[in-house]
Amino acid sequence: MTTTLRRLLAGFVLFFTEFALTLAVGTAGVVVFLLLGRQVLGDGQLSFDEGAFAWSHAFLGEANRRWVDFITFLASRNFIIGAALAVIGYFLFLRQHRWYSLKVPVVALGSITLNLLLKNFYHRPRPLLPLTSASGLSFPSGHAMISASFYGLLIYLVWRHVDNRSLRWLLTVLIGTLILLIGLTRVYLRVHYASDVLAGFAAGGLWLLIAIPLLNRLERTVKHRVRTATADSILPAE
């Protein structure tokens, strides 16, 4: 087998694997969100929601309120805005990759906008007796949705830019664990049902799967047009 053929085969296997994984994750996300949303639009109650409140307290402990508040703050609007600006500045000024600096606000702002639209469509009230103040509607969880999309984007950037394999996997596990903990703290604080959090994860992941390929395609299209226009401008006139 020639080197060229091996490269083509490896490229095909990689493309097929990524496509199959994206399709499977996207399909699972759609199914989970639609099933939860259908139940919410019905009687509004899911059997595991009440049990999840007790389980979250048993898992995280009753004396960890400060730690819980800190974790849930990491997906608050104020923190996400600051973190997004930091990532934008990094890629804009240090790495000089303007397209990555564009991906961050598109993913973050798109996730927030989509979450508000979904909340108003399902119009589910928040749980009773919350342990902290929270306003607005409940389904899907904004913290869960934004954490899945924003921190999911960070995982994508880690895989694109961190060459060290061990460090890449370590960062992926740490960020993935943070996403799960953010969702868990929302249930712990009784500001969201577990079904809100699961739906938020599903919607945030779906938005990420849609936004990144579209932005990548837009980047390729614009770069191709710029190269074509540049080449045309330097060609001698006949």
> What are the tens digits of pLDDT across the range 93-108?
776 677 677 778 888 8
Domain residue ranges of the chain, discontinuous segments joined by +? 50-213
Q: Which CA distances in Å does 74 have to 21, 32, 80, 178, 220? A: 28, 25, 7, 9, 33
Per-residue pLDDT, averaged over 118-128, amounts to: 87
Cα gap 78→47, rounded to integer Å: 33
User: Which range, of 168-172, 202-206, 221-225, averages the lowest pLDDT?
Assistant: 221-225
Q: Are 206 and 168 in contact (CB under 8 A)?
A: no
For the chain, give the mean pLDDT.
Answer: 80
- Express as a percent the part of the chain with pLDDT over 70: 77
Residue 192 pLDDT more than 70? yes
User: Which range, of 70-74, 136-140, 199-203, averages the lowest pLDDT?
Assistant: 136-140
Global pTM? 0.82
User: What's the full length of the chain, in residues?
Assistant: 238
Query: Max alpha carbon distance in the chain (Å)?
Result: 80
Q: Which tops the pLDDT comparison, 49 or 5? A: 49
State pLDDT tens for residues 76-87: 888 888 888 888
Task: Check residue 34 and give its pLDDT.
Answer: 73
Task: Check residue 172 and give its pLDDT.
Answer: 93
Concatenate the DSSP letters of all residues of 99-155 into one string: HHHHHHHHHHHHHHHHHHHHHHHH-PPPPSS-SS---S--SS-HHHHHHHHHHHHHH
Structure tokens at 168: 């890449």
